[in-house]
Structure 1
Amino acid sequence: MTCTVLVCDDEPTLAAEWIQRICDIAPASAYAIRPAPGNEQIAEGVKVLLKRRHAARQGAARPADPCLFDGVDILVVDYDLLHVDEDNARYTGEGVARLARSFADCAIVVVLNQFPEAQFDLSLRGHLISHADLNIDVELLGTDGLWRPRPWKDFRPWSWQVLSESVARQRDRTEVIANDLDAKVVDILGMTAADAARLSDSAFGFLAPAAGDFAALATQSFRGFVEHASDGRDAIALLERDPRAAAALAAARISKWLEREVLGPQDVLVDIPHLLQRYPFLVAGDVTDIDAWNAAMEDEAALRARLPDGLWFDAPNWLSRPALWWRRLETDADIRKQRLEFDFSRVPDIAFLEDVSSFCPIEAARDFRAGFHNSFDRRFAKVVDGIRYAPQRRLAFGG
């Protein structure tokens, strides 16, 4: 599948530069990249989205006007892109992202330069408040890890997703939800009460603001999530007038929540490299060899063969990388037995580098404190020259 990429900025020269950065790295067979035709067409596209929103709020049929953003797989928009409507309301790139997410058929939305203080956010939290699927600095737009699978060159945050793969997952998630908006979120994800016990307050509240315990959380449907989403009356209007768009909204928002607020802390779900750090006896090959660790990180099949059934997060298309339910792992009798029998003195000091997605000897790493306020907040980075890391205090308090 070839993904269409639309790049929007109100300065055509800059847009052309950005497209060239993408074209220099992105496989031509995977992406068809084009700029917006011009500022008038961008403004007209936003006007069509606003018309659609107005019609939805009034309970009227969607206007038949074609829209620039329809059918786009990856919408790249500059945060400083400014549109002012007839009521003098201002729409930045974030506002356009929110409109496109609800009223256009876009799979993935990337907003540039919204959070300029950090190119690598040492909190690892990932701006859940934004309706963009990804918020990055424009200088990183040509990073190969955004556009192609491994191998990657140097800087490539582990939390990133390959955009072409993200498109396919978002389309598939939307299809599942559209077929049953009343399905319960935790049922689709396969989450139990024991799994959810370590959800943070913010993670719990994002999914079900009124829930006081897991029993209440477990009743939350995708429809209910949209009804209580931060989009307010627009979200409710979508449920009434365009259920498929409501499904796409739920798919995008819950997926970002799952990646950032549930997997990110590594205490409800744990992904493979962080699992290997805790349980090095799962590394196939020589545990003293860094190459064996990096190979094990990429060999999901070998790891599945070494683990009991029932531990993996197996909801299709909801995560960008393999993960397991941590509570199930640490209480599994077979895992406990392997842990007790393993000689941990054989394991050298090894660190997983969050900013380059690989293992290295710990003396070549910088430790920092992530922002999840849990026992797994100590993380490691290479600290690549020329990249802005912030907040810097998290490097100072590492370890």
Structure 2
Amino acid sequence: MVSVYKKILFASICIFALSCKSKKEEATKQNTTQQATLVDVIIAGTQQLSNTIEANGNVVANESLEIHPEVSGRLTYLNVPDGASVSAGTILAKINDADLQAQLSKSKSQLSLAEKTEERLRKLLAVNGINQADYDAALNSVNNIKADIQLLKAQIDKTVVKAPFAGVLGLRMVSPGAYITPQTILATLQETNKVKIDFTVPAIYADLIKRGATVSIINNNEPKRTAVIVATETEINTTTRNLKVRALLGGVPINPGAFVKVLIDAGKQINSIVIPTNAIIPDATSKKLIVVKNGKGTFVNVETGLRTSSGVEITKGIAVGDSVVVTGVLFVKPNAPVKIKSVKNLTELTKEQ
């Protein structure tokens, strides 16, 4: 009886151990299934890309300045209508010059008398009626008065403010009768029938930037317009490694200070793998994508190229046909199990963004 009892007890223990092992294995499988991250993927394929470089540009007036007087005084005339167009040489303001005009009249009277004296002495000198020194003093007096008159005329010219070029006035900053100084801003003047477009491009594209070449300009929803490159900085910025470029745009004016897109044609169209931008994981020294292989998420280093409205070109790191994770990227761990929820295409992902 004891032997039978022992056999029954041993059999029970074995059955219990096997049951525990089975439950443990089942629990492990369940945990593994629960840890698998749900992701959406895109199948890497080639897409035809227009090899166009896009840059951000700023609109700068072809000519621009703040209008200041050259001398201090009270405004006796002001012709600065807000936002008006003016031609070159238009008189915009006058400063009280009564004292200078009085000095000019006095000097002209003195000059008239000095010239008559010089003429008489010149005749006397011709007949040896006076010595040369007396005549030279009279002639010197005439020349000094003429120089004083030129100085007064220059000072009077400074009391008149003229438009140095044709353009559009900004907002008037002073009123008639105000006392102004050379630090006072009367208004601004900008030439806007032609504007400059300043933009920067990476140094690797410097060979594409040539004087006389054309670029396309996009401003809001307006049609593309063509600008001509007129100059570049002689030095590449050592911090950003960018080259500053200036193009000239004529035609319909754009407000200076506006933001525009600049498109530069870099050559013929190419076929490349394009991946949504949000699928890329930026790192301190590299960029990574997650590729699904054998049910696990594998992190691979990639190199990027052109950027488009739909994504970014991948030049190295993945091949056509790879399953690239595009959603749930932040939750995938290296070599951890993943479960594909759905396969997306680039068009769908572009619309969702």
TM-score, normalised via structure 1 length: 0.19
More strand by proportion, 1 or 2? Answer: 2
TM-score, normalised via structure 2 length: 0.21
